[in-house]
Amino acid sequence: MDPVDALTEIAFLLERERANAFTAKAFRRAAAAVGSAPADARTDAARLARLPGVGDTTARVIREALAGDVPGYLAELREHAGVAPRASSLRGALRGDLHAHSDWSDGTTSIDSMADAAAALGHEYLALTDHSPRLRVARGLSADRLEEQLEVVAGVHREGFTLLTGIEVDILDDGALDQRDDLLDRLDVVVASAHSTLRMERRPMTRRLVAAASNPRVDVLGHVTGRLVEGARGTRPPSVFDPEPVFAACAASGVAVEINSRPERQDPPDDLIRLALDAGCLFSIDSDAHAPGQLSLLDHGAARAEALGVPADRIITTWPLDRLRAHLERTHLHHM
Ligand SMILES: [Zn+2]
Ligand SMILES: [Zn+2]
C-alpha cells in the first residue's frame, strides 16, 4: 500500500470521526512530508521515518504500508467507519454542499485542500463559508480578509467543480447580519446562523430568526436550533422560538432551511424538519465541514432527510449548478 494514501486516508477518517484535530493534522503533515520526499527515499522506511513531520506513529504506518500490509491504525479506523449510516439514495442525488470552513477561520486545512477533497468526492460545487467578524473564537473574517479571500477563491479552478464564494454570517441578537451589505451582495452563498445568546427568550429569539430568514441577502438558515446532541463539546438544548413564523419567512423568501449533517448537531430536530416541510420550505443538506474528511458527513444528513420523506427536489443541493445559481441570484435581486 502506498504510504501517502494510507496516511491521507487515516487523516480523512479521523476528521470524519471529528477526532482531535491535531492528530489528523499530524497525519496530513506526514503525508505531505512523504509525498515530497525524493523518489529514491519513497520506499525506504528508515529514511522516511527520519523526515521532519514524521513521528513514531506515522513512521509505523509508513513501515507497515511499505511492507504491503494495510497498516493496523488504518484497519482499525476503517472498521469504525463501517458503522456509517445506511446508504441513502438521496445521498446519490446531492450535487454539492453550501456550508464548509477552511483554516481562514476555524477549519483545519487550506482552501485548496477543501476544494480538492470536495472535487474528489464528486461534488459539482462547494461553498466556502468561513465565519464572520464577531465570532472571534472561530477567527471570523473581517471585511478586509473576506475581500482577500474572494480573490483567492477566484483563483481556484478544478475540472468539473466550482468553489462558490460565501460566508457563515452570524445572526446578531437583533437579527441583523454580522457583515457589510455590499460584501454580502458579492457572495454566491450566504448562510446565516446564530452562535451566541442562544438562550434568548422565545419572543426575541423568534424575532431574531424571522429577521434573518426574511433578509433578502440570506440564502440558507444554518443549524437553526443550535442544539448539540453529542460529542466533545458536550450537549446543548435547542434554542426556544416559535418555528411556524420562522419557517413561513423562509418559505416566503426562498431561504433554504439547512439540514446540518454533523452528528453532534443533527439540526433541525425531526419534528422541526417535518414542520418546515409542511410550511413549504426548501432545504440545503450541508456538511458544515471543518476538515476535508468531514465533507462526507453529508451521508448523515441525507439519511435523515430520506427517513423524514424530504423530496429531493425541495433540496437545493440536489439542483444542478445553473439552477442553483439562478435561485441564489433571484433571491439577491429583491434588494438591488
Ligand atoms: Zn455555525
Ligand atoms: Zn459552520
Q: Which three cell numbers stand for residue 309?
A: 420523506
Q: Mind listing the pLDDT tens digit for each residue in 220-256?
A: 999 999 999 987 778 999 999 999 999 999 999 999 9
Mean pLDDT of the chain: 94
> Residue 75 C-alpha to ligand 1 middle, in angstroms?
32
> Residue 33 C-alpha to ligand 2 middle, in angstroms?
30
Which ligand neighbours the alpha carbon of 106 most closely? 2
> Residue 158 C-alpha to ligand 1 middle, in angstroms?
27
189-214 in b/e form (b: 16+ CB < 10 A) is bbbbbbbeeeebeeeebbbbbbbbbb
> Residue 157 C-alpha to ligand 1 middle, in angstroms?
26
Low-confidence ranges of the chain (pLDDT < 50): 334-336
H or E stretch covering 168: strand 162-170
HSE of 139 in the Cβ direction (CA atoms, 13 Å)? Answer: 10
> Residue 63 C-alpha to ligand 1 middle, in angstroms?
40
Which ligand neighbours the alpha carbon of 222 most closely? 1
Give residue 84's pLDDT: 58
Q: Where are the alpha helices (DSSP H) in 106-224?
A: 111-120, 143-154, 181-186, 202-214
- Regarding pTM above 0.85, the answer is yes
Question: Please, which residues have CB less than 5 A from ligand 1, an ion?
Answer: 193
H or E stretch covering 284: strand 282-286
Between CA 18 and CA 27, with CA 22 as vertex, the angle to 5 degrees is 90
Q: Mind listing the pLDDT tens digit for each residue in 286-331?
A: 999 999 999 999 999 999 999 999 999 999 999 999 999 999 997 6
165: phi then psi, degrees, rounded to nearest 5: -80, 155
By 3-state DSSP, what share of the chain in percent is helix, strand and coil, each rounded to 5?
50, 15, 40
Give residue 79's pLDDT: 86
Which ligand neighbours the alpha carbon of 100 most closely? 2
